[in-house]
Structure 1
Amino acid sequence: MSFVTSLSGLKAAQTDLSVISNNIANSNSNGFKRSRAIFGDVFAASPTQTTSKLTGQGVRLNTVSQQFTQGTLQTTDRTLDLAIAGDGFFTVRSDSADAETTFTRNGAFSVNTDREVVDTLGNRVQLLPTDGAGNVTGTTSADLINFVLPEADPADPAALLANISIGNDGIITATFTNGNQQELGALALAGFAATEGLRPVGDAQWQSTGDSGEPTFNRAGEGALGSVRSGSLETANIDITEELVSLISAQRNFQANAQAIETANTLTQTIINLQI
């Protein structure tokens, strides 16, 4: 029994090491959220047994919990580098046939040849429509529109796009060479009832699940959603010192369980030799 108990501890320590190693490896990944392995003890007894005379049977992995705490905002002075100060996710859609929607905290956006604003994977950033006063006119999935930069002023084709500005409320305004301005919409930020239930799909992107609940869309600053910071990126919420301390602890646990297995093996071999 001690061999099986120590083996479960060895596997648990190995899982802990894997989770911590992944955190450290992604310390430079924008928008990355660290994970933490959560374990529980294993105990079994029949109704006729006295539990005061029984020992546990090891440990098991309950879950790998994602930690959606705020990462540090790093200034870049680039307009399309965006970060969220607070809760919420940017909404992006792939250009595939199914137009899959994912959510990200990595706001390193750029413009493609079709003048669409896209993320590092080429997914198109989504906006919510607004009226002239900056009020969002639709907050459902069907209302989402692609973030596309106009080439010229719709009222004056000779006036080209000069620059764009993105406010803390996520409202995007285009300014043209003739001085006219056009409101393009508001960044579609998504919130979830249970953020920890999101499914990670890599590259600091997540999908909604039954555990997370359906996304609710709105502009920045509405409800529990945070504000948008243009010219900044959110770094990984990794504290290297904390991760290294956790790594040392996990390593000690691994070594202790390996030593327990070796001890159990030695005792078993001694008993076999006595019988011979």
Structure 2
Amino acid sequence: MSFYTSLSGLKNAQTDLSVISNNIANAETGGFKKSSTAFSDIVASSIMSDPSMTTGIGSRIAAIKQDFSLGPIEQTGNALDVAVNGEGFFTVVSPLSGDTQYTRNGSFTVDGEGYVKNAQGAQLQVFPVDATGAVSGTTLQAAQIPATNASGADFAGVTIGEDGKLVATYADGTSATVGVVALATFLSPTGLKQQGNATWAATGISGTATYGQPGTSSNGKLLSGALERSNVDIAEELVSLITAQRNFQANAKAIDTATQISQAIMNLRT
């Protein structure tokens, strides 16, 4: 029995090492959120068992929990680099698959058709606005900047305000609000499914997204010209790495000890 008890600890320590290694590998990934491993013990007993004589039979992985705390903010000066100073996720939609994803990585660019997109080509979603720049509906749409305005002047630049207003400027000096960036919040963000590229998808555990404007309700304001970096603390991860390594070594030593005891028993002479 001691073999299997120590083996469960060995496997769990290996999983912990993998989680920590992934955190360290993504220390410079924009918008990345670190994870941690939670363990629980395993006890087997029956209604006839003596509680004072019950022993544990190992451990298991209870959960690999994501930490959505705010990462360091890096100033870039790029108008389409945006960080959320607080709660909320940017919503992006793949133009090919139509999949909706959520991200904290606000590094966007404008493509040849005027769509504001991330590095993977997914389009940023915004609230529609009327002629005065006020939000006119709750159905999200892709942010698309017209190449020319009503006067025929060419597109010259774009800015995003802390309130989420995406404003395009034109060569004749005029400007127009294209939309208001929508931020998504979830009842249980730790239930979001990781998709890679610092993006997540909603699940039954996370609940459906609730959309709002930046700076309203629990949504954070936007910081233009800045990006949120990974929330991985290298020093903290290295300490956790040492702890996980010691845990792995201790379980391996327990297996080695059990092997020696078994060998000693088999070598007994009558």
Alignment TM-score, normalising by the size of structure 1: 0.95
Structure 2 counterpart of 1:114: 113
SS of the aligned residue for 1:169 comes to: coil
Q: Structure 2 CA distance, aligned partners of 1:60 and 1:274? A: 35
Structure 2, unaligned stretches of length 5 or more?
A: none
Structure 1 vs Structure 2: percent identity of aligned residues? 47
Structure 1 position 164, deviation (Å)? 1.7
Is the counterpart of residue 145 in structure 1 residue 141 in structure 2? Answer: yes
CA contact (8 A) 2:90 2:103 kept: yes
CA contact (8 A) 1:136 1:218 kept: no
CA contact (8 A) 2:80 2:159 kept: no
User: After TM superposition, where is structure 1 displaced by more than 3 Å over at least 4 residues in a row?
Assistant: 131-135
Structure 1 position 134, deviation (Å)? 4.2
CA contact (8 A) 2:183 2:211 kept: yes
Structure 1 position 9, deviation (Å)? 0.6
Structure 1 counterpart of 2:171: 177
Q: Structure 2 CA distance, aligned partners of 1:34 and 1:120? A: 21
The structure 2 residue matched to 1:192, chosen from 181, 186, 206, is: 186
Structure 1 position 3, deviation (Å)? 1.1
What one-letter code is carried by the residue in structure 1 that aligns with 2:76?
A: T
Q: Structure 2 CA distance, aligned partners of 1:160 and 1:95? A: 25
Q: Structure 1 CA distance, aligned partners of 2:269 and 2:88? A: 66
SS of the aligned residue for 1:229 comes to: strand
Aligned length: 270
Structure 2 counterpart of 1:32: 32
SS of the aligned residue for 1:274 comes to: coil
The structure 1 residue matched to 2:220, chosen from 197, 216, 226, is: 226
Structure 1, unaligned stretches of length 5 or more?
A: none
The structure 2 residue matched to 1:263, chosen from 236, 240, 257, is: 257
CA contact (8 A) 2:107 2:227 kept: yes
Structure 1 position 132, deviation (Å)? 4.5
What one-letter code is carried by the residue in structure 2 that aligns with 1:124?
A: Q
1:27-176 alignment, distance < 5 Å: 27-96=27-96, 98-139=97-138, 143-154=139-150, 156-157=151-152, 159-176=153-170
Structure 1 position 275, deviation (Å)? 5.7
What one-letter code is carried by the residue in structure 2 that aligns with 1:258?
A: A
Q: Structure 2 CA distance, aligned partners of 1:135 and 1:121? A: 30
Structure 1 counterpart of 2:5: 5
Structure 1 position 113, deviation (Å)? 2.0
Structure 1 position 179, deviation (Å)? 2.1
